[in-house]
Structures are given as structure tokens and as C-alpha cells.
Chains A and B, each alone.
Chain A
């Protein structure tokens, strides 16, 4: 006679399998964040203080914070404008071609970000590649490097694939019969786009925006190389506190503010995304 096995019991070893991860997460995910908060609210000798945070309320830091938000916002919006049509075009290709094109979009990301940014520097310089070519046709030289636009350009270049991939992945799974039905029922292309395709690909847009905005607002390499150090972003100030000035307390408090800015931005975005959805149901 077989032993009766209680239904739905999960062996202990399986339930314990998550234990190493929990220990790891507490030690190396949660604890570091607590340490960041600890350093942000203490001075060099470890006494509680608010002066780090209060020190950020001056014009200089406010300028850096607002510049970071504005540049990251512009980069995100431009990425969305560029990425949406290209995702649409790619999703219309046949299966195999589609796969190759997505591979080609991802391929540049495997070349180091530093090298690609440096390469842009070589292209955009006053005596760089682009000005050499423009010189042959009698234009220029144009001053492109070390401007705010060059920083935005670098963000768009580096993070564009992060916008294309999520939008494409939603778009390629879109049920084609929906747009056909809409066309049969007399929708023109514009209406199909605004009433069917856009609302159904919103989840891709939302994750694309997050994936571009977060690295854009926290970058430091792009602004140093393409902005020539003239346009400090939040990332630059954090990097300087940790690698040059060795003021960990100030660096930690700037990081804390950065996290708060990102959380607020995400909340605003989710608010808009949700309220749109509500409107759609009505």
C-alpha cells in the first residue's frame, strides 16, 4: 500500500531555496540604501545633522538639479518621438527580417558606452570628423561639442535602444486583426493610430520612458565628455563627491535627492498613464 501523500505540501528544501537570496538582498540591497540614508544625515564624525541636505538648497545645486531634469526630459521625449515610428516600421517586417533588425538595434549596446561616447566626441569636435567632411562641401566649421545640445544628443544616442525595445516588443504582439477591423469599420490611418495602436502600446511606452529617463538623469560620463564639463548634472556632482572630494556625506545626500526626484517623476508618469486608461474605458 502506498503511503498517502498530503496534497499541496511543498517540501521544506524548496521553501528554503529562497533563503540565500533573502540574506543577500538584506545585506547588499537593503543595507546599502540604509547606509546611504545614514551618511546623508550625519557629518564626518558620525553625528546627526541636517546640514548636508540643507546645503543643497542653494542656487548652484538647484540649477544643477533643474538642468538634469530638463535635459533628461528632453532626451526622453525625443527618444519617444524617434523610437515610436521605427518600432512600428520594424514590427511590420516579416519574422526573420524583424529578428535581424532587432539584433542590429541591440548590437551597438555591446560596444562599450564610453567608447561610443568618446567616438561621438571625435565626430563632433571642432576639428573632428564631421567638420572635416563639412569642410569638403564648404560648410562650417560648426561648433557642436561642449554644448547643452551635445549632452542631450549623447543621451538620445546612448539610450534610444532602451526606448525602441520595449515599444517594439509590445507592438509586435499586437493583434493585427484589430487594426483590420477598425479599417473595415471606416477608421482612417490616423484614427487607427490614436484609437487602437497608441492605447494598446502604452505599457511599452511607459517602460521605455522609465528606461530612458532614469539613466539620463543620473549620467555623468556623457555630460563630461560631450558637455566638456560645462554642464554639471546630478551624476557629475555625486561622482565628484565620491571620487575627487571624498565628501561621502554630501554625496549620499545628493543621491538621496536624486532618488526622490526619480520617485516623484515615476509617480507623475504613472498618474498620467492611469488616468488615460480611465478615460479609455469611458
Chain B
């Protein structure tokens, strides 16, 4: 039974990683084939560093992810504060259901509905360049917001209600009580929301595809236009580099968190 479980797990991981293994392997291919491996070379990495479009797209993607996740975290956190302190149940519930719409709706519907809004408003004001960086930014903030709110709200519920009350009794102003007591309590939720928003924004293709104009290309959109033609392995090279970056970050994160845990354990023993 145990070996069966192990074989099954191995098969699942093989399935999940097969395209990534192929991607890494063929990024080192000497020819431009993505089917037959003809020899090892760094040719495509050299090509990649000559490809200014890819780097422009990467820069755009990072800029968009930073801006949208920070703004979504600001609006979302303050929204969570407001929703938490809200008394009217009916209002609370309707705000939450509106917030959840972008999660429940398929991305393509979110994308085209925002596109329709932008196009309509653009027509109204006779504005030619209807879709641009700003429209993608608005779209990304919109689909990031619910994830931020949903990761901050539970932290309020976990918090001891009497903590801010105690702070007020001890002479804090409400604002002091919020920044000194409540904010540190919900900080992990805010951080989770920020990271989630950042990765969602980095990875998004469908919503950007419908809300961006010709002037602003993110990496996924750049890859999409590449895959319409035959892909050359330099895109594999780029994806391999990104994959390795994320892998290293994850390992570092895991390493530091497990080290911290061990230190805490040792402290407790002392």
C-alpha cells in the first residue's frame, strides 16, 4: 500500500513537471526545434539577452504587479477595517457579495466586461487610445481587491476584541489604538494579501489580454503573441530563468522560516 502511494505521488509529480522539464531541456537546445534535442548550447540565452521586447515586457509586468498589488492592498485593507466595524448586516452582506464577483466570475467575463466599460467611456469622451497601461492597472486592482480583503478580514475575527478596547481605556486615541494594536495584529493578513495580489497580477494573461492596448505589453501577452507563430526556444530560456528565480526564492523562504522555528524551539528550551 505504501509503495503504491509512493508510485502514485511520483506519477503526479512527473505529470505536473513534465512540461517544465521539457521547457528547461529545450532552452539548451542547439537547434530551434522544440521536438528533437540536437545538442547542448547556451545560444538561446544569448538570443534572449538581445531580445529587447522580452525585457520590456518583463519590466512592464513587474511594474504592473507592484503598482496593482500595492494599491489593491491599501484599498482592500482599509475596506476590511470598514467592513469589520460595520453594524448593518444587510449592507455588509451585499458588499461582500459584490466583492466576491471577480473571484466567482470566469476571467474572460471579467476581462470583456471591463473592456466594454472602457470602450464605452472612451467613446463617450471621444478618447482615441481607450486601452492603455491605466486600463490594465484598473483591471488588475479590481481582481486583486477581493483576495486582499479575504485575507485581511479573518485576522480581524481572530483578534481579541478586548485588545483595542483596553487600549482606549488606557488613554489611546482611536487612531493610536488602531495603529499600535490592531494593525500589528492584522499585519500577517495584509502581507498574505499583498503577496497573493502580486503573484496573481504577475501571472494574469486573460484579463490583461482584453484590457490592454497595443502600447502596453505584459510578459504573458508577449508570450501569447509569440505562441501564435512558432515559438523559438528563447522564450523557454526566459521562462527557465523565471522558474529558477521563483524556486530559489521559495527555498530561501522555507530555509529561513524553518531556521526561525528551530531558533524559537532552542529559545524555549533555554
Contact = CB atoms under 8 A, between A and B. Distances in A.
A6 to B, nearest CB: 11
Interface string A223-243: 001000000000100110011
B105 interface: yes
Interface string B15-49: 11111101100100000001110000000000000
B105 A123 contact: no
A35 B86 CA distance: 30
Given A89-B9, A108-B16, A18 B81 contact: yes
A28 B121 CA distance: 12
Contacts of A239: 108
B141 A112 contact: no
Range of interface residues on chain B?
35 or more
B75 A107 contact: no
Say whether chain A's binding surface is mostly helix, strand, loop, or mixed.
helix
Contacts, number: 216
A89 B62 CA distance: 37
B147 interface: no
Contacts of A33: 101, 113
A197 interface: no
A105 B9 CA distance: 11
Nearest to B233: A122
B149 interface: yes
Contact of A238 (B8, B112, B120): B112
A24 B209 CA distance: 21
B209 to A, nearest CB: 8
B192 interface: no
Nearest to A234: B108
A25 interface: yes
A166 interface: no
A128 B105 CA distance: 36
Given A14-B81, A221-B205, A255-B112, 4 more contacts: A29-B142, A32-B110, A119-B23, A218-B106
Interface of B: 5, 8-9, 12-13, 15-20, 22-23, 26, 34-36, 75-76, 78-79, 81-83, 85-87, 95, 98-99, 101-102, 104-110, 112-117, 119-120, 138-139, 141-142, 145, 149, 168, 174-175, 178, 199, 203, 205-206, 209-210, 219-220, 223-224, 227, 231, 235-236, 239, 242-243, 246-247, 250, 254, 258
